[in-house]
Amino acid sequence: MNSLKYHAQFQRDKMMDNGPDSSILCRELKWLMEDAVEDHSLFSKMGFENSDEKVKMRVGIEELYNLWKERIEKRRPFQYVVGCEHWRELVLSVQEGVLIPRPETELIVDFVCDVVSKNEDLKRGVWADLGTGSGALAIGIGRALGIGGRVVAADISPVSVAVAAYNVQRYCLQDKIEVREGSWFEPLKDMEGKLAGLVSNPPYIPSKEISGLQAEVGRHEPRVALDGGVDGMDALFHLCDGAALFLKPGGFFAFETNGEQQCRDLVDYMKNKRSESLCNFEIVADFAGIQRFVIGFHH
């Protein structure tokens, strides 16, 4: 009876905020089991072979049940439940206090790969990922750069700095990626006019929309990584100003935004106020067809 009630509650929540449907939850449950089983190769064989082989689990059944209950009742994001997010070809550690990297953001690494494949100078330069969170962009870019290429990843949140540093280490990139604590360009004071590239997925949701967010996001993810001020553009404008100052000639930038309106406002701002240093602005859509990114270069 109780579980039915939870289920009904869940259905109601879901309909209100665009949460996961049952097919997504079933897939998550499958992945939860996959992550819980120690030997992955066993998982694919289950159900076909009549072997008596014992399956070793990382966590007990009861703990698994409780984890799943949190997923359903508290709408705790699946990525926090299992402690990781699969992003591009990476598996990144995440926990409460760190924004879960979004699939849309994967594309920024493609932009960077594209740019550095045509420009050896940028490939060997110093890049910055501001508001790095789990370190996703920094690691994705770090793996695309050539010998001598480096990334500085910065975040204001100490939890993010710790998680990003851990992820960098897991991919053995500590010689290439430096994680620094601080707000936006503050920890980059030594790098004015030196950056080959600048990327960011800054908080861009307008403050008044925060309360209506999908429960997984609004109740569990850090507000500091989501709330972009009155029109969601506070950090984005700041990043544009910084790009003009910190990028070296020919340097590249890519920012994620809330959508078409923000993309247009951002390009207008740069055309009107920063055109003496920034140029070749382009708005790029994500795979859902939403105009999501603004990219461009320093003169």
Partner 1 sequence: MAECSEDKDMLNMATEEIGQVVEEERRLQNLLLKSLLPKDDADERDSILEVRAGTGGEEASLFAMDIFRMYEKYAHQKGWKFEVVDIAQSDHKGYKEASATIAGSGVFGKLKFESGIHRVQRVPATEKLGRIHTSAVSVAILPQADVVDVQLKNDDLKIDTYRSGGSGGQHANTTNSAVRVTHIPTGIVVAIQDERSQHSNKAKALKVLCAKLYEMERSRLHSNRSKLRSEQIGSGDRSERIRTYNFPQGRVTDHRVGITYHSIDDVMQGESLDVFIDALLLQEEIDAIATFSSSQ
Footprint on this chain of partner 1 (rule: CB under 8 A):
18, 20-21, 24, 27-28, 31, 44, 48, 77-79, 86-90, 99-100, 102-104, 106, 201, 203-205, 209, 213-214, 216-217, 221, 225-226, 256-259, 286-290, 292
Q: List, as one string, the DSSP characters of the chain.
A: -HHHHHHHHHHHHHHHHT---HHHHHHHHHHHHHHHBS-HHHHHHTTTS---PPPPBSS-HHHHHHHHHHHHHS---HHHHHTEEEETTEEEE--TTSPPPPTTTHHHHHHHHHHHHH-HHHHTSEEEEES-TTTHHHHHHHTT--TT-EEEEEES-HHHHHHHHHHHHHTT-TTTEEEEESSTTGGGGGGTTTEEEEEE----B-GGGGGGS-HHHHTTS-GGGTB--TTS-HHHHHHHHHHHHHEEEEEEEEEE-SSHHHHHHHHHHHHHHSTTTEEEEEEEE-TTS-EEEEEEEE-
- When the beta carbons of 82 and 126 are compared against partner 1, the nearer one is 82
- Provide the minimum distance between the beta carbon of 239 and partner 1 in the complex, in angstroms, as a whole number: 15
- Provide the minimum distance between the beta carbon of 72 and partner 1 in the complex, in angstroms, as a whole number: 14
- When the beta carbons of 17 and 241 are compared against partner 1, the nearer one is 17
- Provide the minimum distance between the beta carbon of 224 and partner 1 in the complex, in angstroms, as a whole number: 12
- Provide the minimum distance between the beta carbon of 64 and partner 1 in the complex, in angstroms, as a whole number: 17
- When the beta carbons of 24 and 55 are compared against partner 1, the nearer one is 24
- When the beta carbons of 87 and 237 are compared against partner 1, the nearer one is 87
- When the beta carbons of 150 and 292 are compared against partner 1, the nearer one is 292
- When the beta carbons of 100 and 240 are compared against partner 1, the nearer one is 100
- Provide the minimum distance between the beta carbon of 9 and partner 1 in the complex, in angstroms, as a whole number: 18
- Provide the minimum distance between the beta carbon of 183 and partner 1 in the complex, in angstroms, as a whole number: 18
Which residues neighbour 201 within 8 Å (Cβ) at sequence distance 6 or greater? 99, 101, 102, 105, 108, 131, 133, 137, 255, 256
- When the beta carbons of 34 and 186 are compared against partner 1, the nearer one is 34
- Provide the minimum distance between the beta carbon of 23 and partner 1 in the complex, in angstroms, as a whole number: 8
